Amino acid sequence: MTAGPDWDTGEGLIRVHDPAEADAAFERGNGHLGTAVIGLAFNCSLEEASPRIVRAMQLPDRDQRGFAFTAAGVAARLNGALTPELYAALRAEGPGRRSIAGNAIDDTLDYVPFRDLPLWLKWWKAESRVRDKLETWRLEFVYAVGDARKALRRRG
């Protein structure tokens, strides 16, 4: 027989499947709630997991918030969709390379059909592709100039 999850150490929380258990842990102020909502994302419906993931995204502990955003990414991967509340939480945190929501947004862009994305995320996807292309061209130019300089030095 397998022991239940240990809220003190975080062991076994990835197997949490009862939203009421997570709700009780929130009320008790247990740690490792970010880990627990990853378990909910794996083991519950999106509608059951979503409010708990959003709640964990507001925890004071940055690491646990990070796990909550991981849970949002897991939910996007498994369901091919997110709830309006999860989209709102991702938008509030903001996209970008330095955002704690960056990986969750990337997972959402990869696994949710473009037609189902909210408008702000469609714009972000288009903008980031343009930015990536411009960066590619800039780097190619920098490398070409560097190669030309090396060639000129060898000739001279």
pLDDT of res. 2: 57
- Is residue 7 exposed (0-12), middle (13-18) or buried (19+ Cβ within 10 Å)? buried
| Residue listed under structure tokens 């997570």 | 22
pLDDT in tens, 38-75: 999 999 999 999 999 999 999 999 999 999 999 999 99
String of DSSP letters for 17-42:
--HHHHHHHHHHT-S-HHHHHHHHHH
**pLDDT confidence of 6, banded at 50, 70, 90?**
confident
